[in-house]
Structure 1
Amino acid sequence: MLYIVLLLVLAALGLLVTALITASSLWAWVSIALSVLAGLVLVADFFRRRGARRRASRATETRVDEEPAAEPEADEPADKAEEAEPEQAEPGDETELVPFTGELDEEQVQAVETGDPAEEPTEPADAEAVSKLGTEVLVVDEYPRYHVAECPWLSGRDTIPIAVKEARDLGFSPCARCTPDAKLLAAAKSKR
């Protein structure tokens, strides 16, 4: 779309120059019309992209909401199966605890794969120690977590390398899936 807009603007500029040289108002009006058309194409492209983003976010929300419930055992009554099943946290519910070791159960792994990964819990002293490191981590535009290169969540995403200190200063937090703080601290301790 941007190429079409560029061509329309260049054509409008050429016609404007022609209108000035020939002193013909017809060419000036055609130049204005091409400029307006270029603006309309830009607006249409903006709304098309915004609609695509909304559809993609709805599709992601739908996939998370439509996870099938576990079927009760054949010999177990349905109401007992419901009682035995723990309540699942809603997406974005920050009361759910994530194991510090970096190992997640199947349900947490699935939640992490469908959207934004959870935040790795880090002690304040450890967070300060990590902030002083110059080690490079990876971030993904429009996501609030930083990761180590081996993080499976990064698969197929465009990453930006950045120093962990700068990532922390910019407000990024560690990913619970790849536990970068724990790994960076362990690597720093092993170097000593």
Structure 2
Amino acid sequence: MLYIVLLLVLAALGLLVPALTTSEHVWAWLSVGASGAAAFVLVLDWWLRRRSSLDAAVVPTAAGPAALDQKISADDQDELDRGPADAPVSPDQGIEPVEEDTDAADLLIVTDLTAEVRVLDERPRYHLAACPWLAKRPTLALPVAEARQLGFTPCAVCRPDNTLADQHRAATRP
């Protein structure tokens, strides 16, 4: 298909030369028509490639075709994305823990804290020092407020926002 487009573009350029050298408008319209045909063939090629890639992306499920008709809620999709709850999550497998769902009150407390959290290079989550997900990998220490400013998000395994907010509340109670 792309060869057809190339030929149509070359024909459009070839028809443009007589349109510019003579005063006849027919050559210009023929050049425009050849350019339009090339554009149509490009769009047709894109559409056929897209349709074939979408057809190839359909993966049959073990539940059968009836399962494809069911709608999945956002909560169910989150569970599917996370995988089984008891599945081991380790940095060696390249699987990140899910982000902690931080309460708004905890978030207000944590954003001002200077408590230390741990981050791994090239990983999006911050953790408590005792997080089992970290294992014995080399980590960097950052204040939690700075980790948040840098775009790190809390780990759902060790729940640093919840833990640090609870510690802060316990320390400030009379």
Using the size of structure 2 for normalisation, the TM-score is 0.49
The structure with more radius of gyration: 2
Using the size of structure 1 for normalisation, the TM-score is 0.45
